[in-house]
Chain A
Amino acid sequence: MPETAMNAGQVSGFYMPELAKVYRTCRKETDIIIEAGMHSGRPLGHMPGQFVQVSVFGYGEVPISICSSPTRTPDRFELCVRPVGGVTKALYNKNSEDWIGIRGPFGRGFPVDLTKGKDILVVAGGIGIAPLRSLINYIMDKREEYGRLIIVYGAKTPDLILFTSDIEQWENQPDAEVYLTVDEADNSWNGRTGVVTLPIREIEIDPARTAAMVVGPPVMYRFVAMELLKKDMDPDNIFFSLERHFKCGIGKCGHCQLNDLYVCHDGPTFRYSDLLARTEAIEAWAPEKDQD
């Protein structure tokens, strides 16, 4: 997408946001989904796995991954936000007709072209489902271009499960396999309990024709990697999308530096094989030589 990249670059180099309007919000106790569109009318032009820098003027700017698929509403996009800090709390209070600022899209998304024809195993933990929902719906809309679609999604509790209506649709698709699990069940829950690695263990995959796309909290990656390696998957075919507190989005501010890489610009999607030799990729994960 050269035009989009240029467009984003032109404003991003000065760190000037573009105005965007909130069209619709869906607020739950723990999160909000905001549907917005650029004031200029330009399509955001993102790919699944990319992120934008979202401004609430007076509060600041935060990186948020785009959770809608570019195949669905080209002139609108969706952001899923959990109110944890000052800016995200301000975003949580946004309503339709409110204004926000957008820079981007930034970063390298999921390798949707590279993995065409492959079986796709999606592993989501917590809010990691947000960028993966963009990917899943993208694949759903180009279903014939991919093999099996296996979705593993773990949330902490049943009420923290995001995108429930999407999940219902995915479960009703004959060519998608959905494994939903929660860490802590309550009385309303009669599905699976336990961490995401448990369903992964059950799934039979053909390691040679599978690509895994993994997004979750830092602690999740190493356990998922161990399970996938047990299934003889090649680290080249395992893709991790990493979270950092990007300030610029263009590899300058230094906050997302992962050894010699900038997560915002070189990632956020990385091959597991490219992370193996590096430290600081995943919490408390360092090669033996750097341990005590």
Chain B
Amino acid sequence: MQSFVLSSEQLNVLFETLMAKMPMMGPKQRSDQPGFYHFDWLKSPGELVLHYTTTTIPPKKAFFPPVETMFSFKLGDPPELTHIIEDTPFVLAGVHPCDLAAIKALDDAYSVPPADKRWLANRRRAIIIGSDCLPDEYCFCTSMNTADARLPCDLFLTPIDRGWLCEVHTDAGKNVLKNIQKDTAQKKDIEDASQWRLQKAEKISTKLNINFEAFAKILEAGGLTPIWKEIADRCYSCGSCNTTCPTCFCFNKYDEFDTTLTSGIRKRVWDSCQLPEFAMVAGEHNFRGERWERVKHRWHRKFLYLFRQFKRPYCTGCGRCSRACTADINMADVINQLAAASEKERSHA
């Protein structure tokens, strides 16, 4: 892997050059809530904030928007259907390692044949520029092996004394840097970046007390219903955890007529397994009608079913669900609580 050094001015030139060619989405400060950030289309490179803790909504929305139009229809004999999918290239900048790991996880999940071609088509449009992060008390990426995730980014930025260390991860990333003034990275620059990451890792206080495989086995063994019920007693089934999760990928779809009542669109929208009607079928039979069953399903899906299928938990340790939870249900705490309860059960047996 090649690495270069860009001064802050040179990095600005890079973003200006890119934005002259294509739209760019990146983290920017929320005008309604200073100190909070969100991924949005940038009007100028100056709006981009690279030193930010996290966003409420993850950058997966660049490829899988919370609401998107899949096609439009016009009633007639026969009706006309128009497939709607963007094809303009864009840049997604300022993506933290945990969110890069999440995009990779969704690449894998959506690529399983038959693939979700909407996700794949949107992914092909993007150049991804990752950047190192400022963790807070909710982050536990060091327990999830995502603190230093890079794939699938094209370039990755880490702050150093001389400006930014810029790692080149793909040919597309190399092309982007072609006419940009830059320095070759020296040993000192690489060490600076390592030191920065070390300090970042040290700041992370939330940790899991169990490894993925052992936790999957606990879930597989079943039981622990009192714990699930205790957690569920606090849950409001609001779905905030799903909405803020970078690896959740469930969805629903619905049609909308326009005012002519002869044409309209079909939309796809993020959905949540925590909502009571998610697993409901005709006749109001509900396969996860109890709140504790839905809470349990969330952990099982992320740490057992998808873990077994893709050899990685569908959690990156970003802490968004814990931050968003109005009932203070904390992802890491729940895992540690289940691990402790299982240990206790075993020692009594």
- In the complex, the answer to whether A16 meets B70 with C-beta atoms within 8 Å is yes
Interface of B, helix, strand, loop or mixed by DSSP: mixed
Query: Counting CB contacts under 8 A, is B278 at the interface?
Result: yes
* A15 and B257 in contact, given A58-B73, A253-B271, A260-B309 (Cβ under 8 angstroms): no
- In the complex, the answer to whether B70 meets A15 with C-beta atoms within 8 Å is yes
* A15 and B78 in contact, given A243-B281, A260-B304, A291-B225 (Cβ under 8 angstroms): no
- A249-292 interface bits toward B, Cβ cutoff 8 Å, 1 = contact, 0 = none: 01111110111100000000000000000011001000101111
Query: Counting CB contacts under 8 A, is A205 at the interface?
Result: no
- In the complex, the answer to whether B264 meets A9 with C-beta atoms within 8 Å is no
- In the complex, the answer to whether B264 meets A57 with C-beta atoms within 8 Å is yes
Query: Counting CB contacts under 8 A, is B301 at the interface?
Result: yes
Expressed in whole angstroms, the minimum distance between the Cβ of B224 and any Cβ of chain A is 9
Expressed in whole angstroms, the minimum distance between the Cβ of A87 and any Cβ of chain B is 9
- A126-141 interface bits toward B, Cβ cutoff 8 Å, 1 = contact, 0 = none: 0000000000000000
* A254 and B273 in contact, given A13-B114, A60-B253 (Cβ under 8 angstroms): yes
Q: Which residues of chain B from 67 to 93 have a CB within 8 Å of any chain A CB?
A: 70-71, 73, 75, 77-79, 81, 83, 85
* A287 and B81 in contact, given A13-B117, A61-B266 (Cβ under 8 angstroms): no
8 Å CB contact of B255 from A59, A218, A248, A258: A59
Expressed in whole angstroms, the minimum distance between the Cβ of B261 and any Cβ of chain A is 8
Interface of A, helix, strand, loop or mixed by DSSP: loop
8 Å CB contact of A254 from B223, B249, B287: B249
Q: Please, which residues of chain A bring their CB within 8 A of the CB of B223? A: 289-290
Expressed in whole angstroms, the minimum distance between the Cβ of B287 and any Cβ of chain A is 5
- In the complex, the answer to whether B73 meets A247 with C-beta atoms within 8 Å is no
| Measured CA separation A127–B184 after assembly (Å) | 70
- B283-295 interface bits toward A, Cβ cutoff 8 Å, 1 = contact, 0 = none: 1011110000100
Expressed in whole angstroms, the minimum distance between the Cβ of A107 and any Cβ of chain B is 12
8 Å CB contact of B252 from A14, A17, A253, A290: A253
**B residues contacting the other copy or chain, number (CB 8 A):** 56
| Measured CA separation A118–B222 after assembly (Å) | 37
Expressed in whole angstroms, the minimum distance between the Cβ of B247 and any Cβ of chain A is 12
- In the complex, the answer to whether B79 meets A99 with C-beta atoms within 8 Å is yes
Q: Which residues of chain A from 39 to 60 have a CB within 8 Å of any chain B CB?
A: 39, 55, 57-60
Query: Counting CB contacts under 8 A, is A217 at the interface?
Result: yes
| Measured CA separation A243–B70 after assembly (Å) | 26
Q: Please, which residues of chain A bring their CB within 8 A of the CB of B305? A: 257, 259-260
Query: Counting CB contacts under 8 A, is A244 at the interface?
Result: yes
| Measured CA separation A59–B266 after assembly (Å) | 9
| Measured CA separation A30–B79 after assembly (Å) | 28
Sort chain A's interface into a size bin: 35 or more
Query: Counting CB contacts under 8 A, is A85 at the interface?
Result: yes
- A7-38 interface bits toward B, Cβ cutoff 8 Å, 1 = contact, 0 = none: 01100111111010100000000000000000
| Measured CA separation A244–B271 after assembly (Å) | 16
Query: Counting CB contacts under 8 A, is B172 at the interface?
Result: no
- In the complex, the answer to whether A247 meets B253 with C-beta atoms within 8 Å is yes
- A85-125 interface bits toward B, Cβ cutoff 8 Å, 1 = contact, 0 = none: 10000000000010101000000000000000000000000
Q: Which residue of A has the minimal Cβ distance to B264?
A: A58
Query: Counting CB contacts under 8 A, is A201 at the interface?
Result: no
- In the complex, the answer to whether A247 meets B85 with C-beta atoms within 8 Å is no
Q: Please, which residues of chain A bring their CB within 8 A of the CB of B268? A: 15
A interface residues, Cβ below 8 angstroms from B: 8-9, 12-17, 19, 21, 39, 55, 57-61, 82, 84-85, 97, 99, 101, 217-219, 243-245, 247-248, 250-255, 257-260, 279-280, 283, 287, 289-292
B interface residues, Cβ below 8 angstroms from A: 70-71, 73, 75, 77-79, 81, 83, 85, 109-110, 112-118, 221-223, 225, 249-257, 261, 264, 266, 268, 271, 273, 278-283, 285-288, 293, 297, 300-301, 304-305, 308-309
A-B contacts, 28 of them at CB < 8 A, read: A9-B114, A13-B116, A14-B70, A14-B118, A15-B71, A16-B81, A19-B79, A55-B266, A58-B75, A58-B255, A60-B266, A101-B81, A244-B279, A244-B287, A251-B114, A252-B110, A253-B250, A254-B250, A255-B271, A257-B273, A259-B305, A279-B222, A283-B285, A283-B287, A287-B222, A289-B223, A290-B225, A291-B225
Closest CB pairs A-B (n = 4): A254-B250, A13-B117, A260-B305, A9-B114
